[in-house]
Amino acid sequence: MRAKGQSLYTLSTLVVLAAAAAAAFGGLPARAQSADNAAAPVVSYARGADEVVLELSREIGMLADPDPTPFVRVYGDGRVVVHYPFYMKKAGDYSLRLSEPEMQELVLSMVGLGLVEFDAGTARRAKHAAELAARERARRVGEPGLLVVSDDETTVMVLRLERYAPAGEERATYVDLAKEISWFGLRSDVERHPGVDVLGRLYEAERQLAAFAEREDLERAR
């Protein structure tokens, strides 16, 4: 089992995603633009300073007075705002700026991790199958069943794209896409069932967005 916060994906995987960004956003030289690039998705997002492209929220059910402001917001111009709620020591807003290549790589990474195609029903069935398999393994060796302890936190992620066409020759194009994903106890589920890839990918997307809160160039917003 990996340590908490450890990425599911290697550096080489992220390098491949960065290289693919050029094709996805039309950054390849003209002579490289060919039918071969059908293997890359087509992605477009709003570039405005007030256009929120990505959001991450963490909702804690036990709080009597929750803060509705998302934990992380990424705007189309590359501005990232990290918000700490009023009940935390670091309460307030902090920000940093992504370069255009960094912004493109981030968006393509979210797409590559399957946020657009994520289906909660499919994920729940995969989790249920993993739970049944774990119980059966425990039964065979005479161990007690799994004690489920939830982190009591709901992860909410939102991805907004102006245009999206998945990889492949026959592409269904999505326009003005706004995909919202909500999952209760994501970290706990991934730790208990590391083989459920769809949840592992969702957790990796959360990890990448939450990592902005640890950046050294993050500054308190004025």
Percent of the chain scoring above 70 in pLDDT:
74
Please state, in angstroms and rounded to a whole number, the distance separating the CA atoms of residues 23 and 170: 17
Q: Is the dihedral of CA 178, 196, 69, 14 positive or negative?
A: negative
Q: What are phi and psi of 163, to 5 degrees?
A: -155, 140
Q: Return the closest-CA partner of residue 207 out of 2, 64, 61, 56.
A: 56
What confidence score (pLDDT) does residue 47 get? 95
Token pair for 122? 């499919």
pLDDT at res. 144:
63
Q: Which of 25-39, 72-86, 89-103 has the lowest mean pLDDT?
A: 25-39
101's CB contacts (< 8 A; 6+ apart) are: 18, 21
Contacts of 78 (CB under 8 A, 6+ apart): 97, 98, 99, 100, 102, 103
CB 118 within 8 A of CB 200: no
Largest CA distance in the chain: 63
Distance of CA 76 to the CA centre of its chain: 16
In contact, 124 and 183? CB cutoff 8 Å: no
CA distance 212 to 200: 19
pLDDT > 80? residue 38 = no
| Nearby residues of 63 by Cβ (< 8 Å), 6 or more positions away | 87
Give phi and psi for 173, each to the nearest 5: -90, 130
- What is the model's pLDDT at position 37? 54
Confidence (pLDDT) at 32: 33
What is the per-residue pLDDT across 193-216, written as a single tens digit (0 to 9) for each?
999 999 999 999 999 999 999 999
pLDDT in tens, 92-101: 999 999 999 9
Note the pLDDT of residue 140. Answer: 76
DSSP state of 8: S
Range from 31-35, 59-63, 182-186 carrying the lowest mean pLDDT: 31-35
pLDDT at 5 over 50: no
**Does residue 15 have a pLDDT over 50?**
no
Contacts with 132 (C-beta within 8 Å, 6 or more apart), sequence order: none
- Averaged confidence pLDDT in the chain: 81
- Of the ranges 35-39, 167-171, 204-208, which one carries the lowest mean pLDDT score? 35-39
- What Å distances lie between residue 57 and 26, 69, 106, 114, 130, CA to CA? 31, 8, 17, 18, 26
Choose between 37 and 198: higher pLDDT: 198
Q: How does residue 124 score in pLDDT terms, banded at 50, 70 and 90?
A: very high
pLDDT at 116 over 60: yes
The residue-averaged pLDDT of 69-88 equals 94
Which of 181, 193, 59 has the alpha carbon at shortest distance from 120? 181
Q: Residue holding tokens 């990425």? A: 7
Higher pLDDT, 32 or 159: 159
